[in-house]
Amino acid sequence: MLVLSFSFAVFHRVLRYSTKPLSTVSHIKSSSHSPIPLINPLSLSPSHHQRNKHTQQHRQLTSMATTLVVATTSDPASINPANALLSMPSWQPGPHFQDDMKSFVNKGVRVLLHGKSIVVEDDLDKRWEEITGEVVDEVIFFSKHTAVSNKPALTVHPIGVPHLREGDVPPQGGKPGWAALPNPRIGPWLRHLRKLAQSHNLVPEFEITLEATHHGPLTNKPTMFLEIGSTEDYWKREDAAQVMAQLVWEGLGLGGGTDLGNWSRENDKKKVLLGIGGGHYAPRHMDVVLKDDVWVGHLLSGYSLPMENINQSEGQTNMEIGGTWRESIKAAYEATKSAFPGGEIIAHLDHKSFKGWQKKAITGFLEEQNIKIGKPNNFIEY
């Protein structure tokens, strides 16, 4: 195990605690909730006795898988949910990661705060493993959501830019042709988010929805984004931040309950939706996912399936249709398959979003790749 090979000096450096204050954002008072307490790491600075106790605990935890929850102080829709989560019981200062970041620990969960754009810090999971010796099991990001409509929304989605060609510059992180492993919790957490939002009277004001696969940063473990949208006023809404924090608290079982969306424990229901086609908010796929026991993999909207109809003749084959749609589907499928070992990956098409020649090409390619195509009823478990 990596941590066992550390020298005493390196191990001591890894475990030392940083006490630089966090940068935070000012609060805008919500009509229905009091301001979120801002967490100052100085208040969590351990005594010598506590430091030794935390060191012993950390040595015990390096053998267990951990969850990274990542937020940035530069985004109120990111730092506010993180602060709300850190205001809940039992958080302690975490191991030193790097000088411009802070970490906090609670059971198997690590909250990591930095000050950059949420989509630019690549390979945080890999870097965390290399520095701390802990094994990262999954990564969850808090972030803002933007939309042309400016409508309030709470969203959940996988990440990646599988449709971009080599040499393209991703506008929001990632790398061309890459799809992150989708976090298996996406489906169960979306359904739980709806319940939490309703109980906190955020519905119908806020739409609770999936988003299609998009943007970075690069990760190596199952990943999902939790976002608050879609304007600055909504990004700073404290009631929305509380709901997102509660989702993570309950979803990871930090309050003592059973965590939600644990594929290794709950995979007796093995059907996993791979969404293909439709708009950014995946309405046809949402109809299926809102049913209990449906797992969610990647969701490829129309813009992630670039298709160039080179030959309009009736006899054309898939090979005569240009664009990176094949590569996008293949990358999304392989990542979904890796994230759900033993799962039955089923492609669900938004048929009405395709022209006839597009649907023919896509279904033909799926059959060539031995990827099962399903209708809504095919996702029902009996």
* Residue 282 pLDDT: 94
Residue 48, CB-side half-sphere exposure with 13 Å CA sphere: 0
The rounded Cα 120 to chain-centroid distance in angstroms is: 15
Q: What is the DSSP string of 60-115?
A: HHTTSEEEEEEEETT-HHHHHHHHHHHTSTT-EE-----TT-EEEEETTEEEEEES
Tell me the β-bridge partners of 67: 109, 138
268: confidence class by pLDDT, cuts 50, 70, 90: confident
The more confident residue out of 114 and 9 is: 114
Shortest CA distance to 164 belongs to which of 213, 121, 125, 211? Answer: 213
**CB within 8 A of 352, min separation 6: which ones?**
284
- 293 within 8 A of 269, measured Cβ to Cβ: yes
Percent of the chain with pLDDT over 70: 80
Average pLDDT over residues 54-61: 47
**Mean pLDDT along residues 91-116:** 96
- The model's pLDDT over 160-211, given as tens digits with 9 standing for 90+, comes to 999 999 999 898 999 999 999 999 999 999 999 999 999 999 999 999 999 9
User: What is the phi-psi region of residue 198: left when phi exceeds 0, alpha when psi lies from -120 to 50, beta otherwise?
Assistant: alpha
In this structure, which CATH number among 3.40.630.50, 3.90.1300.10, 3.40.50.10800, 3.40.50.11540 belongs to the domain 66-309+320-369? 3.40.630.50
* pLDDT tier, 234 (very low <50, low <70, confident <90, very high otherwise): very high
How many residues does this entry show for the chain? 382
Q: What percent of the chain has pLDDT over 90?
A: 75
Please tell me which residue, 13 or 136, carries the higher pLDDT value: 136
Whole-model pTM: value is 0.84
Q: Which two tokens stand for residue 70?
A: 């990542």
**How large is the average pLDDT for residues 315-331?**
84
- For the segment 334-375, what is each residue's pLDDT rounded down to a tens digit? 999 999 999 999 999 999 999 999 999 999 999 999 999 999
Which pairs from 314-321 meet CB under 8 Å and 24+ separation? 316/357, 317/364, 318/361, 318/364, 318/365, 318/368, 321/357, 321/361
Coil/strand/helix, residue 265: helix
Amino acid in the structure at residue 21: P
pLDDT at site 310: 63
Distance CA 323, CA 325 (A): 6
In sequence order, the β-bridge partners of residue 104 are 93, 111
- Higher per-residue confidence, 322 vs 56: 322
Q: Is the dihedral of CA 106, 191, 197, 151 positive or negative?
A: positive
Q: Rounded CA gap, 380 and 271, in Å?
A: 8
